[in-house]
Structure 1
Amino acid sequence: MSVGPTHGLADPRGYEPPQSIPAAEELGRIHFVGIGGVGMAPVARIAAERGLPVSGSDIKRTATIDALRAAGALIRIGQAPENLDGVDTVVATTGVRPDNVEFVEAMRRGLRIIHRATALAALMVGRTAVLVAGTHGKTTTTSMLAVALDVLGLDPSYAIGGEIGASGVSGHAGGGAVFVAEADESDGTFRHYEPDIAVVTNVELDHTDYFGSLDDVHKAFVSFVDRLKPGGLLVVCADDPGAVAVGRVAQDTGLRVVWYGENAAVPGQPSRAGRPEGEQTVDYRIEGVELVGGAARFDIRAKATGMVHHLRLGVPGRHNAANGTAAFAVLDALGTDLNRAPDALAAFHGARRRMDFKGEAGGVRVYDDYMHHPTEIAATLAAFRALAGDGRLIVAFQPQRYTRARTFLREYGPRLGAADAVVVLEVYPGSGEDPIEGVTGAVIAGDIPLPPDRVVFEPDSAAVPARLVAWARPGDLIVTAGAGDVTSLGAKILDLLAAGDGAASPEPAGAEAGSDS
């Protein structure tokens, strides 16, 4: 359970899945190192809302820190050994360095040190745990489920790697029996969970600072699935080859699997035992997808009943039809009223940084999105293209992490060619990363198949808003895209658009659209 001296945080592989998961109430006073982080904050919030003694530290005060304090957490700005006085359990992530002053002090005192994923697993003890995993789509699918379950009156607990648009909250301790959480594969620690229901939306190579190959990713997902509780259920997308490969292994080991997707049948392949697989029809088939403005309309045909369920999601994109169908399958597995499920799912209107509407000025709409993987770029730009209608699609793209950009360097450009005009920023480095020779936004810009006057490499992020606005005209749609600080440019873009038009329409409450990774 605890991390010993030979399992430093510099190597995330040192965090082995715990042999047994204690209830969170057994952890005593819990201290979060870097409590305001996107992964830490929802876990700390849930613990605080449950009435557990929670403390934490971070390097600066933010709105997230203020919200956690309001929830009951004792938080100090700045990290120091004395912050651990009275603490029983220290929670850290793989991003915390082994020479961090609080980590070193926790080791010296012999305190229990656990990974964030183990802390979240402890909070799930005694509840029906639904874990959503996948290279793309997990934030949106988890958010959809949280909103739908709440609408259905089940008051779920949830932990999400992004804020639900309407509430601005990423974690909540509900009073109901269901706990829904996003299972992040980036450092392999999603193997710490013990789900009752697991979802795998897709499996592709990403996070190449941790995974050396697609085979490594596959093995990690298989390990995650192997943690299903006895009698548990795996929900798998039949349209994604990587997800199918994981699902086939799960079936071969006797796990209960249901499939969803636009494919009528699950692609066949030999099982791990060498037996040929016969054709298998999907359990929840997506039919008749229509993308209308900011919505996705489609039908789900349920194999078990033969019934067809009509859905209209409040978020655009064919990929969101798949995310919604995964959520529908989980709602069915939980025994909810499927006659009410379509309306419950329609109540979801997006997550922050997932097709996130920032405002409109001068007749130009501005959105922000987290897309940072070539597959995400292709799917999300297709959704934005439908949303733009007769207007042009103008994109500012910031690649994130040199290790990821090195792997996909020549794949970004062709996907970005789906836009009408693109500004490419310089690579936004990951924590502790050094630049890699030859890995630069200039290479990506050179690969975009658009006229030269519609592609710009701009390493000065401060100059990007003016570049975008110079291209824009009424009816167009501007997107800031990437997992780095490009998200901060939306307000400046709107200011410049407003200065040229005389008025701006700010982001209305709850008006976000959504999609994912």
Structure 2
Amino acid sequence: MKILEKNINNIIHFTGIGGIGMSGIAEVLFSQGYKIQGSDLLNNSNTKRLKKLGIKVFLGHSPRNLRKANILVISSAIKKNNPELKFAKKKKIPVYKRSDILASLMKYNETIAVSGSHGKTTTTSLISSVLESARFDPTTIIGGIVNKYKSTTRIGKSNWMVVEADESDGSLVDLFPKIAVLTNINKEHMDFYKSYSNLKKYFLNFANNVPFDGVTIYCKDNSDLNKLILVTKKKNKISYGLNKGSDVRATNILTNEKGSFFNINIKKTNLLKKEIIKNIRLNVLGKHNIQNSLAAVTVAKILNISTNKIKQAFQKFKGVKRRFTLVCNFKGIKIIDDYAHHPEEIKATLELARDLTSNKVIVIFQPHRYSRFKNLYNDFRKVLKNCDLLYVSDVYSAGEKKIKSITKEKFANEMNKIKKNYAYSLKNVNALPKIILNKAKKGDIVIFIGAGDISKWVNDLPEKLKKL
């Protein structure tokens, strides 16, 4: 791709540069000497970070922003009627997808790519931390804010790269990593894939993109993923998980407020030596994060990284923003911000909460996307019945058209048929401080769940609670 020739006359414009994935790639290209600019509808933490680096960011989308640009980069979130995209097509400015740029960057590096329906961001972050601990000095592009980096990106100087491979738009099939990591497969992003079987085909293609001397690493605990990997054409496959058949398996697991503690049994394979690793400590909580850490251990052992370096990385790992993040402790009530927006993610979050308290678990739930809420409606009902008190807000549309038959009132009423008088529709977000004051007691956990603007609600709470 000519974009990587570093033509000094090229000015690369990112439409939607403030997005999680777009901001990371823009930052990496800028660090390598490319002339980068971009635009976004909002001035968020990502655009502020890029501005501090010296990248020009326009507020709003306009053809005027492209006056000096001769390459346009867009994500799948950019609509066909976007004024910058329409202008680029009219002026015959080359347009590339975000995945095209990522694939081109990967081509020139030894790349580890992580994909799956859930757990990608934490797994990518853990792998990056282990490689950093072992002085591999990787460049990392992640779909979330890593607490240690305070960014979606780590800029390294080696030819190693760790990337999160987004599956939401099918672009993972454009990537050809040396090491592919698959965390799990569930029904997700059906608005794009249309069917579960089609989604699985994309993941299979991703696994088959690994070269003959590469390796596919996968979680054996996920039955659909396990079946899928059995039919892949590739020889080099390594499993990890909690199940007995896993090549890399966690045992003697203990989770409490101080962290996750476990041992690891590694089987002898064509790529791994038999080994028992004792006394692993992980600062992030939950069995799902133990699974994520096993992926990082598997990568590390393939790359001959020592056990001590792995342990050091895990002890220093501070997690990812909005993954069971403690916002405040109000009179003994723990208030948590969590990104979970799929039933499987919510299930893992609630299981972790139950491990941490014998008291009430209260959930403030903001459904994300009408299409997801509709397609997985019954699955949301099954998992959310496991909390003690539920408040349901309006759906965060993420740009989708409203589905009138899907409402917070209807969902709350149906949940009350399962458990009487425990679900409510949230009428006003300004009522949240009083709800917590009146409904929660010392020892309870209140979790704000969703991928929309619910994070702002919970992060505004500490100041509001002080005023009560």
- Shorter-chain TM range is over 0.9
- Tell me which of 224, 245, 253 is aligned to 2:206: 224
AA in 1 matched with 2:374: R
Whether contact under 8 Å (1:203, 1:242) holds in the other structure is: yes
The separation in 1 between residues aligned to 2:382 and 2:258, in whole angstroms, is: 25
1:465–1:485 Cα change, 3 Å: farther
Residue in structure 2 matching 1:346, options 307, 310, 315: 315
The equivalent residue for 1:303 is 267
* Shift in Å, 1:131: 0.6
Partner Cα distance (2:398, 2:358) in 1:
37
Which of 269, 277, 286 is the matching residue for 2:250? Answer: 286
What is the CA RMSD across the aligned residues, in angstroms? 2.0
DSSP 3-state at the match of 1:35: coil
Query: What residue ranges of structure 1 are gaps of 5+ in the alignment?
Result: 1-19, 266-281, 501-517
**Would you say the 8 A contact 2:133–2:310 is kept in 1?**
no
Does 2:375 match 1:407?
yes
Q: Which amino acid aligns with 2:450?
A: G
Moved more, 237-246 or 146-155: 146-155
* Aligned counterparts of 1:371 and 1:469: Cα–Cα separation in 2: 24
Secondary structure of the residue that 2:193 maps to in structure 1?
coil
Structure 2: distance between partners of 1:41 and 1:286:
35
Find the partner of 1:263 among 220, 223, 243: 243
Number of aligned pairs? 461
Structure 1 residues 490 and 407: alpha-carbon distance in aligned structure 2, compared to 1, 3 A threshold: same
Task: State which of 419, 433, 450 in structure 2 corresponds to 1:482.
Answer: 450
Distance 1:166 1:470 in 2: 36
1:447/1:309 Cα in 2 relative to 1: closer, same or farther (>3 Å)? farther
Give 3-state SS (helix, strand or coil) of 1:54's partner: strand
Q: How does 1:17-416 map to 2 (within 5 A)?
A: 23=4, 25=6, 28-250=10-232, 253-265=233-245, 282-304=246-268, 305-310=273-278, 311-387=280-356, 389-416=357-384
The answer to whether the Cα contact below 8 Å between 2:190 and 2:196 also exists between their aligned partners in 1 is no
Offset from partner CA, 1:151-203 (integer Å, 9 cap, x none): 22222111111101233210122112321111110010111211010111101
Deviation digits for residues 296-347 of structure 1 (CA, Å, limit 9, x no counterpart): 1111111123311131100110111100001111111222223321221232
Q: Which string of whole-angstrom CA distances, capped at 9 and with x for unpartnered residues, describes residues 11-68 of structure 1? A: xxxxxxxxx7974746933110011112211111111122211011112323321210
| Structure 1 Cα separation of the partners of residues 300 and 408 of structure 2 | 42
> Hey, what does 1:420 align to over in structure 2?
388
Classify the secondary structure of the residue corresponding to 1:339.
helix
- In structure 2, distance between residues paired with 1:91 and 1:249: 35
- Shift in Å, 1:83: 2.1
CA contact (8 A) 2:333 2:444 kept: yes
Describe the shift of the 1:89–1:471 C-alpha distance in structure 2 as closer, same or farther (beyond 3 A). same
Which of residues 437, 442, 450 is equivalent to 2:404?
A: 437
> Shift in Å at residue 75 of structure 1?
1.7
**Contact preservation (8 Å) 1:315, 1:350:** yes
Between the aligned partners of 2:7 and 2:117, the Cα distance in structure 1 is: 33
Instruction: Answer yes or no: is 1:455 the counterpart of 2:435.
Output: no
In the alignment, the residues of structure 1 paired with residue 223 and residue 310 of structure 2 have an alpha-carbon distance, to the nearest angstrom, of: 28
Cα distance change, pair 21–224 in 1 and its aligned pair in 2 (3 A): farther
Q: Is the 8 A contact 2:212 2:234 kept in 1?
A: no
Question: Which residue pairs with 1:270 in the alignment?
Answer: none
User: Which stretch shifts more, 66-75 or 181-190?
Assistant: 66-75
Q: Quote the residue 1:9 is aligned against.
A: none
Closer, same or farther: CA 145–447 of 1 in aligned 2, 3 Å = farther
Please give the secondary structure, in 2, of the residue aligned with 1:340: helix
Q: Show CA shifts across 1:476-515 (max 9, x none).
A: 2211001111111113432343345xxxxxxxxxxxxxxx
* TM-aligned CA distance change 1:316 to 1:497, over 3 Å: same
| Secondary structure of 1:341's aligned partner | helix
Q: Is the 8 A contact 1:424 1:458 kept in 2?
A: yes
Q: Which has the higher contact order (CA 8 A, sep 6+)?
A: 1
Instruction: Report the Cα offset of residue 372 of structure 1.
Output: 1.0
Offset, 1:95? 1.2
DSSP 3-state at the match of 2:163: strand
- What amino acid is aligned across from residue 410 of structure 2 in structure 1? V
- The two structures have a TM-score, normalised by structure 1, of 0.85
Gap change, CA 1:409 and 1:459, over 3 Å in 2: farther
Shift of residue 285 of structure 1? Answer: 1.5
Change in 2 beyond 3 A, CA 1:21/1:340: farther
Q: 1:262 to 1:254 in 2, by over 3 A?
A: same
Asked if the contact 1:54/1:72 (under 8 Å) is kept, the reply is: no
For residues 84 and 61 of structure 2, the distance between their equivalents in structure 1, rounded to whole angstroms, comes to 6
Check conservation: 2:433, 2:465, Cα contact below 8 A.
no
Contact 2:146–2:320 (8 Å) recurs in 1 = yes
Unaligned runs of 5+ in 2: none
Q: Say which SS state the counterpart of residue 143 (structure 2) adopts.
A: coil
Q: 1:24·1:122 contact (CA, 8 Å) conserved in 2?
A: no
Q: Deviations over 1:86-133 (max 9, x none)?
A: 323210011111121111121122222111111122222321111100
Aligned equivalents of 1:45 and 1:107: distance in 2?
Answer: 25
